Amino acid sequence: MARIRLVDLSLGYAGEPVVRRLDGVFAAGQATAVVGPNGSGKSTLIKALAGLIAPMAGRVVIEGASRREVAYLAQGGGVDRDFPISVEDLVALGFERRLGLFGGVGPAERARLAAAIAAVGLTGLERRPIGALSGGQLQRALFARVMVQDAPVILLDEPFSGLDVRTTAALGEVVRGWAAEGRTVLVTLHDLALARRLCGQALVFARQVVAWGPCGEALTPAHIETARKLADAWPGLEAA
């Protein structure tokens, strides 16, 4: 089982800090909601944990897994909808870590691929081009891609943004299942009720830690208000 340890971590862009002096542990087998105002550094933190941003100071230590064993779903999916690829081919990209970019997909992988597509409710759409999918269908396919990665650490950046209630509920159950399997899951969210429903832990974040612990202790009105006041003091609300 894997966990993520943050050691005096500071992150930023062009020498300007966005995340300051962050210490703590994301425990194995826990789903943690990362919540905070716009511009609070939530996406920056997730990108750093995925290895896409180098720290300005401090360290991200992944214990019990390699960097290649981290699955990352970017905000908005990070997929070009005009790229000529089918649902099945998109989901199969999740095998790249284990098989290599040009590795063959055998019977075991085909079975896992079909199971993942079925789990997100896309059976029958395997050959449909991703450009013909609705936003909710595409997000389901991206969740299936994460499923076939079989990663011990899963990072999700606003994965439910713009989705209908039914799709959010279905994919939320996938997130709960990952944590129940012993995976370490981090998910950035704006919806506090959804955070409480899906996650056992929460990090209330406003470029620094406001509260970090069980949802019942971290997601209090006082902590949310503190985060909002910190955001009001920032010179700008650039996306972070």
- What the chain holds in terms of domains, given with CATH numbers, is 1-65+153-240 (3.40.50.300), 81-151 (no CATH)
Q: Kindly tell me if the per-residue pLDDT of 238 is higher than 60.
A: no
DSSP string, 202-226: EEEESSSEEEEEEHHHHS-HHHHHH
Mean pLDDT computed over every residue of the chain? 90
Per-residue pLDDT band for 178 (boundaries 50, 70, 90) equals: very high
Are residues 60 and 155 in contact, defined by beta-carbon separation less than 8 angstroms? no
The Cα 108–Cα 112 span in angstroms is: 6
Q: Kindly tell me if the per-residue pLDDT of 109 is higher than 90.
A: no
Q: Kindly tell me if the per-residue pLDDT of 233 is higher than 50.
A: yes
Query: Starting from the edge strand earliest in sequence, which strands make up the sheet with 3-13, in order?
Result: 16-26, 3-13, 57-63
Share above pLDDT 90 across residues of the chain, in percent, rounded to a whole number:
72
Summarize the confidence of residues 199-218 as an average pLDDT.
95
Q: Kindly tell me if the per-residue pLDDT of 237 is higher than 50.
A: no
The Cα 160–Cα 28 span in angstroms is: 23
pLDDT 10s digits, 116-162: 999 999 999 999 999 999 999 999 999 999 999 999 999 999 999 88
Summarize the confidence of residues 157-185 as an average pLDDT.
93
Q: Can you give the pTM of this predicted structure?
A: 0.90
Q: What is the pLDDT of residue 102?
A: 47
Q: Kindly tell me if the per-residue pLDDT of 99 is higher than 80.
A: no
pLDDT 10s digits, 151-162: 999 999 999 988
Of 187, 174, 227, 228, nearest to 205 by C-alpha is 227
